[in-house]
Structure formats: C-alpha cells, structure tokens
Amino acid sequence: MSNLSNTVCKETVAYNRPIRYFRYQSRHLKTTRIPPANWLAIGLIAVISVYIVQSLWNITSTTRFGEIDFTGYWSATYLLHNGENPYSVELMGTVQRLQAHSTLGVTLMAWNPPFLFVFLLPLAWLPFTIAKFVWLVINILTVTTAGWLLTQLYLPAENPRLKLIFLIFAIGFPAVLAGLYMGQVTFLVLGGLVACMSLIKKEQWFWAGAALIFTTVKPHIVILPVIYLLVYMARRRQFKGWLGLASAGLACIIILFTFRSDVLYDLLGETMITRVNWATSTIGGLVSYLGVSEKARYLIVLFLPLPFLLASYPEKINLELSVALLTLITVPTTIFGWSYDQAVLLIPIAQVFHWLVRLKYKLPILISIAGATALNYYQRLVTINEVYYVWIPLFWLLLFCIIWYKISLVENHAGQKL
C-alpha cells in the first residue's frame, strides 16, 4: 500500500511540475511586459520611418536625386548580370537609353574595379527606378551605421549629446549629401573601413579583414589606412584578418566568373584607353589643372612608408588616431578623388570631435568648423568645378594638426605636474 502511495505521489509531482513551470513563466512574462510609453515610442518611430521611406520614394521616382552616377554603376552591373561586358562604352550607352531611360546625352561609365558589380548585383534584377530608391536607402543606412560606429570608436560613452551632434553633422556633411545626390558608392568604402576598425577592437580578426573588401570599389581614396590595417594585423600575428580579406576576394572572383568569365579581360582591355588625368579635388588635380605638371598626381607615393612606421609604434599612436591621420593624408594626395569621396573624412572628423571635449578653449575651433562648413555649402551652390574643393581636406588636416599639438601640450603639462 505504501509503495502504491509513493508511486501516486511521484506521478502527481511529475504531473504538477510543468504546471508550476508554466505559472512561473507566466509571472515572469508579466514582469517583462513592455510599458505603454515604450509602445508609444515604437509606434511613433514606425510612423516617422514610413513617412521618410515614402518621401524618399517620391523624391527618387520624380527627380534625379540619387541617379547621376548610379546610372553608370547600375548599367554596368546590369550588363554583367546578363553576361555582357560591363566596361563597353557602346553597351553601356544602349542600356542607359533603353533600361535607365537616361536623358543626360552622355554615356556614364563605371571604371571601378569589378568587385563593385558583385555588391550591386541584387539591384540588377530590379527596374532602374526601384533600384535607385533601394540604393539611396542603403546609402543612408550605411552612412548612419558608419557614423554610429565612429561614435563608439572615438567619442566618450558618457557624453551621448556629443554623439548625437556628431551623427547629425555626419549626415549633413556636404560631401555626404553630394554623394547621396549622385548615387555614389563611396559610402561602401567608408563603411568597410569603419567596420574593420570596429571588428578589430572586438578582436574579430577574420571579419575585420573581410570588411576591407568593400574598400576595393575605390581603393585609391583609402590606400594608406588600408595598408596600415593590414600591417597592424600582421605585426600582431593575426593573419586571420588577411585570410578574411582573401576569402572575401575569392568569393567575389567566383561570382564574377560565374556571370562572365572574361570580366578581367574586359577590365584590362577597356580601362587602358581611359583618361586618368581628371581635374579632381586633389593636390595633383589642382596642379594639373593649372598646367604646371602631371607628376603631382603621384604625391601619395612619398607617404607609402608612413603606414608601416605608424604600425610599428602602436603604443605611441593608437589605431584610431593612425587611421584618422592616414585618411586625412590620403584624400588630398591620392592620384584622383572627387569631392563626394571626401565623405571618408568623417573618420578624422570623429577624432577632432573627441579632442574637442578635452580642449579648454574650444570656441575658436568651433567657429572655424562652422565657417568652413558654411563655405562648403555655399560652394556647392555656386560652382561645379571639382578642383576647387581641394581646400576641404587641407582645412581638416590643418585643424587636425593644430588640435593634436594643443592636446599634446596639455598632456605634457599634466605629466610634468604629476
């Protein structure tokens, strides 16, 4: 009889155990219920997001916003998607007339490395207007994400107001707005470089290297910081980063050859006839425009040892400062670069924002930044000559060096007191 009672008790306990667990879970869920105020905030964000998306669609479907340069990128990707030569001037002109319905009167080419077409390949299945809208949304999200990552890398966590100010400045930066209007791919470069830095700080070396694949769409505008990051990985014996970049590159090559096996021949065959002596927003572009010399275009060659030097002394100049400095040097000294490519200057600008917190007398610096930004906006309204935008990276380089010098004085003075 006692055995039967024990059996019944055990079965009762076993039966009641899931019931008690369910009751515990129910009570736990009640305590984690989202408050009504949070639901209100979520609803408000959803309504604003829908309004923004609708507004962006209206803009892209009725104007040329996000279209001009994107026409060339999409046409080349469309040709690759159909197994055709993405660097053929004749085929590009045909696609732009019949598919993109371009009325510009000129054929826009995409002389970028072919990896760009891999990243844009999903858009080749979409009609041009829808693809243009999707690309604008992607660009806005890329800039916003890159700006947020820069606040994590450079700005103090205890100052959320400064982070918000930087994000607003980043989205409203004239080069960013110009890039969005043109439908540029520069933001892939910015996003890839910033993502690499962020992943290195988290010691996710493989993915950090893989993120650098996005810089290959315009390697010339970030060549010095990319070399630095690769050397930085090598000196720490973190060759997983190199493996990540190689793996991403191999995946892109396989995709390219899947759609067109002659794509590398197309690149070498067509780009050999293109001009590279464009009058762009670089020191070399300005010197060439003035008719002085074409040799200044290769000024960046003089700075190639600098990434190796900085990577050798990370305890004196850390990763964030090194990448910011090298980006500032690359933009005005590279072979060629357009004014919207200056969007990558957001990296050194984040470093400047970080230093501003530590400066006692920051009003003159703030006035100079506001004045330069206002002048940049005005210049966008009155001129289209790319050469005259070269002063922008030079201004930020000068400001960067002045603040760095002031911060060094403050730190040396504090060290002497200690």
Q: Is it the case that residue 190 has pLDDT exceeding 80?
A: yes
pLDDT of residue 346: 98
Q: Is it the case that residue 17 has pLDDT exceeding 90?
A: no
Question: If you average pLDDT over every residue of the chain, what do you get?
Answer: 88
Percent of the chain with pLDDT over 90: 65
pLDDT of residue 139: 97
Q: Is it the case that residue 21 has pLDDT exceeding 70?
A: no
pLDDT of residue 40: 74
pLDDT tens, residue by residue, 326-337: 999 999 999 999
Q: Is it the case that residue 305 has pLDDT exceeding 90?
A: yes
Q: Is it the case that residue 109 has pLDDT exceeding 70?
A: yes
Q: Is the Cβ–Cβ distance between 312 and 368 less than 8 Å?
A: no
pLDDT of residue 30: 47
pLDDT tens, residue by residue, 35-62: 766 777 778 788 888 888 888 888 888 8
Task: Tell me the mean pLDDT in the region 261-287.
Answer: 79
pLDDT of residue 413: 60
Q: Is it the case that residue 322 has pLDDT exceeding 90?
A: yes
Between these two residues, 200 and 408, which has the higher pLDDT value?
A: 200
Between these two residues, 8 and 95, which has the higher pLDDT value?
A: 95
Give the C-alpha separation, 286 to 124, whole Å: 37
pTM equals 0.88
Give the C-alpha separation, 186 to 217, whole Å: 8
Percent of the chain with pLDDT over 70: 88
Least confident of 31-45, 188-202, 230-244, 362-376: 31-45
Q: Is it the case that residue 231 has pLDDT exceeding 90?
A: yes
Between these two residues, 159 and 206, which has the higher pLDDT value?
A: 206
pLDDT of residue 271: 58
**Phi-psi region at 83: left, alpha or beta (left = phi > 0; alpha = psi -120 to 50):** left
pLDDT tens, residue by residue, 61-94: 888 999 999 999 999 999 999 999 999 999 999 9
Label residue 8 by pLDDT band (50, 70, 90).
very low
pLDDT of residue 24: 47
Q: Is it the case that residue 164 has pLDDT exceeding 90?
A: yes
